[in-house]
A and B are shown apart, each in its own frame.
Chain A
């Protein structure tokens, strides 16, 4: 999966996991997810951590990195690509 596909998949995953009433096309990958962006809250942040663990098998080693990783769909995609373990073929 290339980065562009991952970004689109993430948009869909976020919508489903957080029960958002928007379409993938409504989410700008570089826009902030919290506050002025999609308006996510602290429970949503926990849901994104669960999503990262369940779907992409990545555990956040340091909770303080959360705000940087979950700043936008773009930053989430970058983090996944940098930390995902290659699937056994």
Chain B
């Protein structure tokens, strides 16, 4: 059963990447329809100005999640105020299948250890946590469709338990040329009186489903 939330928590920032377009909150950040997926991810990395060489060694799921996290959270600003109260909760449909296929292909010869270490979907939560200094709860769920109600309840429960104060949560999925990352930065503080919106399933759905990444 879903909980109707009281609005005590706020979606302060959001990011959406899909079909060679990237949005930060409701603003288009980059659009390059002429590129392949891999080319677009690199173009987005350059546009964000990440300067994180390890990104190039990651699998595509982690690359996508890292870019969405960077758009939703901004660049890490040094010491995080509350690392143990900062959680990452993600979900997707295709697990690490994109990388698993690459690894199976390599088994014909000598497989790459650097590919093998990414044959789990939750590695992306670790990569984001390392980059942004999150040391709180980490979870990764797999479902056919984004389980919005379930995830909102899960994050709300984390907040209610009292140890989590901010959470990056959402959907990060990639298989071949199909990909979609939609991430939300949620906390108990309304950071922006105009752009922060109540953390409710309805608002999460709206941003997730809207082609332009807009929330009415």
Contact = CB atoms under 8 A, between A and B. Distances in A.
Contacts of B112: 47, 50
A46 B57 contact: no
12 contacts: A18-B57, A18-B114, A19-B56, A19-B114, A20-B53, A43-B57, A43-B117, A44-B114, A47-B112, A47-B113, A50-B112, A54-B110
A21 interface: yes
B53 A47 contact: no
B144 interface: no
B160 interface: no
Nearest to B111: A50
A84 interface: no
Interface string A4-29: 00000000000000111100000000
Interface in B74-110: 109-110
A83 interface: no
B162 to A, nearest CB: 36
Contacts, number: 25
Interface residues of A, number: 11
Contact of B53 (A21, A46, A50, A54): A21
Given A18-B57, A18-B114, 15 more contacts: A19-B57, A19-B114, A20-B53, A20-B56, A21-B53, A43-B57, A43-B114, A47-B112, A47-B113, A47-B114, A50-B110, A50-B112, A50-B113, A53-B110, A54-B109
A79 to B, nearest CB: 18
B109 to A, nearest CB: 7
A25 B110 CA distance: 29
A53 to B, nearest CB: 6
Contacts of A44: 114
